[in-house]
Structure 1
Amino acid sequence: MLKRKGKLKGDKFDVFSNIIVIIFAIMSLFPLYWLITSSLKTSAAVVKMPPDWFPKTFNLSNYADVFEHNPAFKWALNSITVSLVATIALIIVGSLAAYAFSKLEFKGKNIIFIIFISSLMIPKEVMIVPLYRIVDDMGMINSLHGMIWPNVATAFGVFLLKGFFDSIPDSLRESAKMDGASELRIFVRIMLPIVKPGIAALFILFFVDVWNDYLWQLVVGQEESAKTLMVGTATLMQDLNPNFAYKMAGATIAAIPMLVVFLVFQRSFTSGITAGAEKG
């Protein structure tokens, strides 16, 4: 009887908790819903009060205008190039450094790691001026290189991946060395496949971070040909007589690649974050 009462109470709690989760999920998705539906309305319908919760007409001309009157394809290509190259470069550099800090022994390793990770406490905005001067001296202003390589010089990848390498038993590496495997072969053929969930999580987190790095891309990409999708979309907001539906369409176009990346890597991202939580 007590078991039955306990089970009934547990079922009621599950139902209640599921309702709460559903409510919060709807609240989280509502801004995305409002963005997409507003992009299909007229400008007057976007600011109408009370609002139309569902568009009465589907106005696709907003999307056509974004691509017809602006180099949106060029902006999108620039954003994809910057985000993809920066993320892949960070994964390569970060995984090598994380493996070295985790498995190799060298003088001053712990001190260097602490100094390295301490750089994460400095906001990027604080370094904008000196970083801009460095990039300018290297001739990378108004080029994608100026947006890519400063993003690679961050300790975030090392911080995230080191925990995954720490969880791998040292005996596995020692056995491989006894079999005659080189350090690079151990890293590529043994270690990287094991930390694949962490790499997937890092890929999504950093790709999204670089994609949304509006301030630095605005500072470096001043010419029209060097603008990214985030910066180009923001320029749509500078009209004196704004077309809000037109701007919503531009923002939706900028958000779509992020949704695609997350949906494609969702399972790997979830398993990577879960594994990282278990190791912590």
Structure 2
Amino acid sequence: MEKFDLISNTIVLTFAIISLLPLYWLVTNSFKTSSEIYQMPPSILPAKLYWGNFKELFDGQPAVRWMFNSFFVSFTTTALSVILSASAAYAFAKLHFKGKKIFFMLLIASIMIPKETFIVPLFKIIVAFNWIDTYQAMIVPNLATGFGTFMLYSFFKAIPDSLRESAKLDGASEWMIFSKLMLPIAKPGIGALFILNFVTVWNDYLWQLLMARSKEMNTLTTGVASLQQAINPNIGLKVAGAALAALPMIIVFILFQKYFTKGMTAGAVKE
């Protein structure tokens, strides 16, 4: 058994190192000059930490505004989306109303439809509301997600109905049962959903590209992409921008990975 564990751990470690190599290369190249990035054979580590790429990024581009836009859009969208998903999931799991099964089937079916298929009518709606180049254009269309509701549904479904019935006997309202009793129990799933939604919105390049028309309204992903498209020989500047865009996602996952791993497995129970 110990020999098997050693072999399996070695295999996992090898694949982990391979998967981290692109990230390592991105970070180290952001601290190199353009000439050092292009040199052959490439250097594993920078000869000297070069901060000029980041200095040029913040001096020549509104990178601080891009970062604010990304955090504001991602956090606001995720927070509101989790609230809506949790409310809908609780209703489908614990409440009884007419057409419940039909609505739930439609919800599941919506997960199978890629966003790109309805991006044109959605864009026309945003234009009709005159929301182009605004925060609400990036936030509102991403609030209601069938995936979030379906994910939290299993958590609420696994909670014994006796807890809810006991709370109702004690005089608790439906809102109190949901907010004070059910939400704390489903916290692992909510944490996992928060991370997934945050990463999804942060990387929602296509929709943010369509909505942001001015340079100041760009998010970090679209702003960095504009550097890639610009006629600029400074590859170090572009690499620094890409590294800056990836850093928040790494930090978020490291800080909340225990909620993510626990939340992804806690809801996997048989009814």
> TM-score over 0.5 for the alignment?
yes
Q: Does 1:275 align with 2:266?
A: yes
> Residues of 2 paired with 1:279 and 1:47: CA distance?
55
Query: 2 CA distance for matches of 1:158 and 1:116?
Result: 8
**Aligned counterpart for 1:46 among listed residues 13, 24, 37:** 37
Aligned residue number for residue 193 of structure 1: 184
Distance 1:12 1:93 in 2: 48
Given residue 244 of structure 1, which amino acid in structure 2 is its aligned partner? I
The 2-side partners of 1:279 and 1:196 are apart by: 19
Distance 1:277 1:166 in 2: 11
Partner of 1:109: 100
Cα offset for 1:47? 2.5
Q: Distance in 2 between matches of 1:277 and 1:28?
A: 27
Aligned to 2:132, the other structure's residue is in SS state coil
* Residue number in structure 2 paired with 1:153: 144
Cα distance in 1 for residues equivalent to 2:267 and 2:207? 29
The alpha-carbon distance between structure 1 residues 123 and 275, as it changes in their structure 2 partners (threshold 3 A), is same
Equivalent residue runs for 1:235-250 within 5 Å: 235-250=226-241
Q: 1:33 & 1:174 partners in 2: Cα distance?
A: 53
Is 1:32 matched with 2:32? no
Cα distance in 2 for partners of 1:60, 1:277 equals 46
Letter in 2 for 1:227: N
Percent of residue pairs bearing the same amino acid type: 54
1:26/1:123 CA distance change after superposition, 3 Å: same
Shift in Å, 1:130: 0.5
The verdict on how the C-alpha distance between 1:278 and 1:54 changes in structure 2, with shifts beyond 3 A counting, is farther
Task: Give the residue type in structure 1 aligned to 2:225.
Answer: A
**Deviations for 1:130-150, whole angstroms, at most 9, x for unmatched residues?**
101101111211001100010
Deviates more, 1:164-173 or 1:242-251: 242-251
User: Residues of 2 paired with 1:34 and 1:265: CA distance?
Assistant: 25
Say whether 1:59 aligns with 2:50.
yes
Distance 1:54 1:65 in 2: 21
Give the total of aligned pairs. 271
Can you list the C-alpha shifts for 1:90-143, whole angstroms capped at 9, x where unaligned? 011100000000000011101111112211111111111110110111121100
Whether contact under 8 Å (1:164, 1:279) holds in the other structure is no
> Residues 176-231 of structure 1: CA distance to partner in whole angstroms, max 9, x if unpaired?
11111110000011000000000000000000000000000000011112110000
1: CA distance, partners of 2:36 / 2:216: 33
Segment drifting more, 65-74 vs 230-239: 230-239
What secondary structure sits across from 2:101 in the alignment?
helix
CA deviation vs aligned residue, 1:219-266 (integer Å, no higher than 9, x gap):
001111211000001111123343211111001111111111111111
Partner residue in 2 for 1:234: 225
Residue 92 of structure 1 is aligned with which of 80, 83, 87? 83
1:157 Cα deviation after fit: 1.2
**Runs of 5+ consecutive residues of structure 2 not aligned to the other structure:** none
Work out which of the residue numbers 105, 109, 127 in structure 1 matches 2:118: 127
Q: Contact 1:163/1:279 (CA < 8 Å) preserved in 2?
A: no
- Rg: which structure is higher? 1
Counterpart for residue 164 of structure 2: 173
Q: Which amino acid aligns with 2:13?
A: I
Going from structure 1 to structure 2, the CA distance change for 1:42 and 1:160 (only over 3 Å counts) comes to: same
What letter corresponds to residue 128 of structure 1 in structure 2? Answer: I
In the alignment, does 2:174 pair up with 1:183? yes
Q: Give yes or no for the alignment of 1:12 onto 2:3.
A: yes
Q: Distance in 2 between matches of 1:126 and 1:47?
A: 40
Q: Alpha-carbon deviation of 1:46?
A: 1.6
Q: Which moved more, 1:197-206 or 1:56-65?
A: 56-65
Matches of 2:241 and 2:40 in 1, distance apart?
Answer: 23
What is the CA–CA distance in structure 1 between the aligned matches of 2:150 and 2:233, rounded to whole Å? 43
Distance 2:10 2:249 in 1: 27
